[in-house]
Structure 1
Amino acid sequence: MNVLSNEHAFLAVPEPEFCQYEKARFVIQQVPYEHTSSYLEGSSKGPEAMVAASHFVEFYDEELDLETYKQCGIATLAPMDFTGKFDKAAVDHIQSETSRHVRNGKYVVSLGAEHTVTLGFVKAYLEQYPDLAVLQIDAHSDLRAAYHDNPYSHASVMARIHDLNVPLVQIGIRAQCKEEADLIKASANIHTFYAHTIRSQADWMDKAIAALPKNVYLTIDADGFDPAVIPAVGTAEPNGLFWVETLQFLRRVFRERNVVGFDVVECAPIEGSILSEYTLAKLVYRLIGYQVTR
């Protein structure tokens, strides 16, 4: 197991003891798998960019009044190697690696490239939490049976999770095909909160949380945010979520449900800009803080 030294790890904290795998409660897993990007490419660079940007995130969290890392320890793993692994083989590799850390009692935070990687994470967590639901923040519903004839496309990841009989709660959806809309209408296991509806529903957070069972896996596609917040994504869509409302919602989710793990995916860095990866690194640290203080 290749664990990064503290100066190269998430946050680059000065004390090596807070980055050791054996002592850390949290593990940052870098998963740069990109094989089916359908618009702009570059998400394979996202995990490393988020880790690098985290070196400029303040250790002290003003919202939580806490230097979070000192309460839990955060170990960072070297990027996974996907040489020769695509589609099912890649998903199986991700599941195996994630399962190992979950069995070791670690809270796994995964930084992914394309959204396909989430299938591996969810399958790993299902081994321990068979009653798991997935909370998805995303611009796209990702429910196509296949895309470009590939059932392991990033545009089909939630369809594969739905095949596992896992309930889905989707937040911020604003781009889909009719096939996906029809599946949402037909399935009792999919609860979709469209971006255009939450703007007019004061109680959308209450309804979304009520649709979640006790154990939840959280997946955040960077394009769930409005492009004004996170511009560096493969397929940007207008009318996305903003920072304050997203954090208000997620803090409630962490308090009211058992979020067993989470990922952040689909950041495709823009040369000359650090806004997206820095904001996402800060999001990751904030969510770790929500879990520590729940």
Structure 2
Amino acid sequence: MENKNYGGLESEFTAYETAEIVVLPVPYDGTSTWLKGADKGPDAILEASANMELYDIETDSEVYTHGIATLEPVTEASSPEAMSQEVEKQVDKILTDKKFPVILGGEHSVSIGAFRAFAKHYDKFSVLQLDAHSDMRSEYEGSTHNHACVMARAKEVATVAQVGIRSSAIEEKENIMPDRIFYAHDLHDAKEGNNWMYMVSQKLHDNVYITIDLDVFDPAIVPATGTPEPDGLYYREVLNFLKLINERHNIVGLDVVELCPNDINKSSDFLASKLIYQILSIKYQNQSNN
């Protein structure tokens, strides 16, 4: 893969100085506990993105014209804590430069540094988690920066809302806030249709950081993830939900994590890259280029 720019973009649209959007690959897989391979996720997303059409039909827009710079990958991997510090440093710079960060994991621990960087720039913000797992352990396997602890760390710096959850350990119950978690089975069984989307929105501050673990999706459509859980969400309901969030809030940053690509089926890679592009298209559809 020669062109490692997101979208396969040429240099006209990838210069950091003029780009409004910055992609930060973090190929870290140090704390995953079952299927390995999340460190290959960023490259797989970037490779798949080069095969997307850059015109988005739904928004009638070409968001790449706002400029999308792709940084060199974060290579710090000596510990999850050290990796988080490096991510925090780089995201802090992106925010200082008034650009929109998109972090590519890697496993979910890559998000911790991003949360802390945002806390330096926003007095109040929310972390909206889309995930199969609650990730609310205080510590796991001797680390507070394990991928199973991500939302416990988020809760230290932001308000949180958790969507699509369908797996949790008993010891996480003390950290889970019942009014801020939206279990997948409740969403599937909801008699009010999409009313749950508005209920989630009511839990969020104006500024919202979105963290998407790809295992939030049903494994029928995203099998290539570290811990594929049955009974997940589907692409259209997730996209419609994020459209509503964009209408009611200011999306300030985004990460997509836990892609474990394989050589047999590339559909998960493409879904991840397309999801990012559609979220960006939704966010920027009514904004003129700088």
Query: 1:143 — aligned with what?
Result: 136
CA RMSD in angstroms comes to: 1.6
> Which residue type is aligned with residue 226 of structure 1?
D
User: Does the 8 Å CA contact 1:17/1:23 hold for their aligned counterparts?
Assistant: no
Match of 1:48 among 37, 43, 67: 43
Query: 1:268 — aligned with what?
Result: 260
The Cα shift of 1:82 comes to 1.2
Matched, 1:178 2:174: no
The Cα shift of 1:224 comes to 0.6
User: Does the 8 Å CA contact 2:126/2:209 hold for their aligned counterparts?
Assistant: yes
Q: Residue 183 of structure 1: SS of its match in structure 2?
A: coil
Matched, 1:196 2:196: no
Aligned-partner Cα distance in 1 for 2:153–2:64? 34
Matches within 5 A, 1:1-294: 7-13=3-9, 15-70=10-65, 72-83=66-77, 85-164=78-157, 166-184=158-176, 187=177, 191-201=180-190, 202=193, 203-293=195-285
Q: Deviations over 1:134-165 (max 9, x none)?
A: 0000000000111222221100111122233x
The Cα shift of 1:90 comes to 1.4
User: Does the 8 Å CA contact 2:137/2:175 hold for their aligned counterparts?
Assistant: no
TM-score after normalising by structure 2? 0.94
The Cα shift of 1:34 comes to 1.4
5+ long unaligned stretches in structure 2: none
5+ long unaligned stretches in structure 1: none
Aligned-partner Cα distance in 2 for 1:153–1:16? 36
> Which residue type is aligned with residue 276 of structure 1?
S
Q: Deviations over 1:74-119 (max 9, x none)?
A: 1111211115x31222111110111011101111111010101111
Alignment coverage as a number of residue pairs: 283
User: Does the 8 Å CA contact 2:28/2:39 hold for their aligned counterparts?
Assistant: yes
Aligned-partner Cα distance in 1 for 2:245–2:97? 25
TM-score after normalising by structure 1? 0.93
Aligned-partner Cα distance in 2 for 1:151–1:122? 14
Q: Deviations over 1:44-86 (max 9, x none)?
A: 000111001101111111111112212x111111211115x31
Q: Residue 175 of structure 2: SS of its match in structure 1?
A: helix
Q: Percent identity?
A: 39
User: Does the 8 Å CA contact 2:152/2:175 hold for their aligned counterparts?
Assistant: no
> Which residue type is aligned with residue 82 of structure 1?
E
